[in-house]
């Protein structure tokens, strides 16, 4: 369709045509009394300037005005010969695309005009020569690949264009591949630049299958508990009342209003053995799947619930609880409480049950697994250390000339190379941003030992003000601890009630600036009782 696009360019040129006046040269004033033609030449009446390919140039309406012997005179085209005025191309010339202007020359004076003209052969009409597929079922994709349209030009010539050659100049609504519905009754074909249109009728009947079969099962049909259903690859074939067969791949289920139960991407449970694909007409197909149980060899609490402290009558909430399952021959599986029902994991008491005063734990069981795990109740963890990935938010204060090197080594916080300052508190280890509520009771547990081979270690341990709001006081009263050198880890516990106003700037603090040897902190936990 390359030449059709050229026609369009000529049409644009016609819309933008301008009249140009060109004076070719000045005339000579002779003394022999010859008529004087001045340089003033104007177009008074335009000739026909827009043509269809193959038409003849028509200058019959052309009139120019020019100055002659001191006055302006009008010269119609019929008098051009008498006035020795010529045109290029000549009147009656059969025009083609090379003709883009009319040049008018006044005798030998070198004066004249140039007038733009346009020659086009645009598409003015479309005809459907070969129809595309015309009969569809609601939900199918329209197929225009067989369509051929005929372009009718201004000069009456025609050209056939197959769908594959439509490009961007010929457009259809709906487009090829669009899903059709019973509301669609035609395909409108448009030639963009000239807005010529033609419609092909189509018929779309409702999707009301009488029967169906699984032509191709899903690519994946065997799963383990908790894996997500994947229906990719599944193809169903339905038979209509007229015997027509409709092939529906999984990705087109929505277009045909087909519903899968369980739905695609659903986490599967042990009792799932098939996927039911149903339609509003009542027709349903069963697609078999297999869900294998997990071979669980171990179970442990990965993370505790956010809430472990209850009053009588409060509702049990397991948010935040995750369970680590060890699977024979496979990587461990982390299961959140939200998915416990999928794996048939049971907690006693269960989510949503009312807490009864005296209940000390939540017991977690896995089906057919003998061992259980428990979550102690009666306290709420405010902070629990984990040095396996680094310092876990702990920092060092170094003042008064004191300094220390801190690091996390094999899950233990290590402070060594201590340079004492002027006071024991000039070198400190602390965990900031601890929330403490006025009137609440807390328990601090610390597991520490002196660094091996460096002798005894003495320090003070406290939970206190970390912002200066309350003068850096120890809310728990503080207290010193002495660690004998070259001994195993020792556990220290203390309880206290927060007497000051609630703060978000509390801290767990170790004053360690008494000596140069080191300390190892294995574990720190702060609980709200």
Q: What pLDDT is attached to residue 202?
A: 97
Percent of the residues in the chain that have a pLDDT greater than 70, as a whole number: 93
Q: What is the pLDDT of residues 171-183, one digit of tens each?
A: 999 999 999 999 9
pLDDT at 39: 55
Indicate the class that CATH gives domain 2-120: mainly beta
According to the model, what pLDDT value does residue 23 have? Answer: 40
Name residues whose C-beta falls within 8 Å of residue 140's C-beta, 6 or more positions apart in sequence. 179, 180, 204, 246, 255
Across the chain, which has 529 residues, the per-10-residue mean pLDDT values are 42 38 36 43 95 95 92 95 95 96 90 94 96 96 97 95 97 97 97 96 96 97 97 98 95 96 98 97 96 96 89 94 96 97 97 94 96 90 95 96 96 97 94 96 96 95 97 96 94 96 97 95 95
Same fold flag, 2-120 and 211-292:
yes
Give the CA angle between residues 390, 391, 392 to the nearest 5°: 95
- Model confidence, pTM: 0.59
Q: Is 2.40.37.10 the CATH number for 211-292?
A: no
Q: What is the pLDDT of residues 317-338, one digit of tens each?
A: 999 999 999 999 999 999 999 9
Note the pLDDT of residue 309: 84
Domain 395-528 has CATH 2.60.120.260: yes
Q: What is the pLDDT of residue 28?
A: 34
As a whole-number percent, the residues of the chain with pLDDT over 90 amount to: 87
Q: What are phi and psi of 94, to 5 degrees?
A: -75, 120
Distance (Å, whole) CA 279 – CA 45: 73
- At the top level of CATH, which class does the domain 125-205 belong to? mainly beta
Pairwise CA distance, residues 433 & 421, whole Å: 25
pLDDT for the residue numbered 254: 95
CATH number of the domain at 296-378, please? 2.60.40.3630
- pLDDT tens per residue, range 332-387: 999 999 999 999 999 999 999 999 999 999 999 999 999 999 998 888 889 999 99
Q: Of 50, 23, 52, 28, which Cα lies nearest the Cα of 39?
A: 23
Q: Write down the pLDDT at residue 311.
A: 86
Q: How many CB atoms lie within 10 A of CB 477?
A: 11
The conformational region for residue 97 under phi > 0 = left, psi -120 to 50 = alpha, else beta, is alpha
Domain definitions of the chain by residue range: 2-120, 125-205, 211-292, 296-378, 395-528
């Amino acid at each position: 369709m390359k030449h059709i696009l050229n026609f369009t360019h000529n049409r644009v040129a016609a819309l933008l045509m301008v009249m140009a006046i060109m004076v070719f040269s000045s005339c000579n004033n002779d003394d022999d009394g010859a008529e004087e033609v001045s340089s003033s030449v104007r177009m008074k009446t335009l000739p026909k300037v827009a043509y269809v390919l193959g038409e003849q140039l028509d200058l019959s309406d052309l009139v120019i005005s020019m100055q002659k012997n001191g006055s302006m005179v009008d010269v119609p085209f019929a008098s051009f010969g008498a006035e020795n005025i010529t045109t290029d191309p000549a009147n009656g010339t059969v025009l083609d695309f090379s003709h883009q202007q009319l040049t008018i020359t006044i005798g030998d004076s070198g004066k004249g005009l140039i007038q733009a003209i346009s020659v086009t052969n645009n598409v003015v009409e479309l005809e459907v020569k070969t129809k595309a597929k015309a009969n569809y079922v609601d939900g199918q994709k329209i197929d225009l690949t067989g369509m051929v349209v005929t372009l009718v030009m201004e000069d009456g010539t025609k050209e056939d264009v197959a769908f594959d050659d439509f490009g961007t100049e010929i457009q259809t609504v709906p487009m090829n591949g669009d899903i059709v519905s019973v509301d669609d009754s035609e395909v409108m074909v448009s030639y963009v630049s000239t807005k010529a249109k033609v419609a092909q009728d189509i018929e779309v009947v409702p999707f009301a299958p009488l029967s169906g079969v699984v032509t191709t099962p899903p690519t994946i049909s065997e799963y383990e508990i908790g894996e997500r259903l994947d229906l990719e690859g599944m193809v169903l074939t339905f038979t209509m009342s007229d015997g027509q067969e409709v092939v529906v791949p999984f990705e087109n289920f929505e277009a045909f209003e087909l519903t899968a139960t369980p739905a695609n991407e659903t986490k599967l449970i042990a009792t799932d053995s098939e996927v039911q694909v149903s339609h509003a007409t009542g027709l349903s197909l069963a697609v078999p799947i297999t869900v294998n149980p997990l071979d669980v060899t171990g179970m442990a609490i990965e993370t505790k619930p956010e809430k472990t402290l209850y009053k009588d009558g409060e509702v049990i909430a397991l948010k935040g609880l995750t369970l680590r399952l060890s699977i024979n021959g496979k990587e461990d599986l982390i299961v959140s409480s939200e998915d416990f029902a999928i794996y048939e994991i049971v907690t006693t008491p269960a989510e949503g049950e009312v807490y009864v005063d005296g209940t000390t734990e939540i017991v977690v069981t896995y089906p057919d697994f003998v061992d259980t795990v428990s979550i102690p109740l009666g306290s709420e963890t405010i902070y629990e250390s984990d040095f396996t990935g680094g310092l876990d938010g702990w920092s060092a204060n170094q003042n008064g000339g004191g300094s220390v090197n801190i690091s996390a080594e094999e899950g233990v916080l290590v402070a060594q190379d201590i340079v004492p300052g002027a006071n024991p508190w000039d070198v400190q280890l602390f965990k900031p941003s601890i929330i403490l509520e006025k009137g609440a009771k807390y328990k601090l547990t610390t597991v520490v030992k002196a660094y091996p081979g460096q002798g005894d270690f003495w320090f003070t341990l406290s939970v206190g003000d970390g912002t200066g709001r309350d003068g850096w006081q120890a809310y728990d009263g503080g207290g010193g601890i002495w660690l004998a050198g070259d001994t195993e880890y020792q556990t220290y516990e203390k309880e206290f009630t927060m007497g000051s106003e609630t703060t978000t700037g509390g801290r767990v603090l170790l004053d360690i600036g008494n000596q140069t040897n080191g300390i190892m902190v294995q574990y720190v936990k702060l609980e709200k009782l």
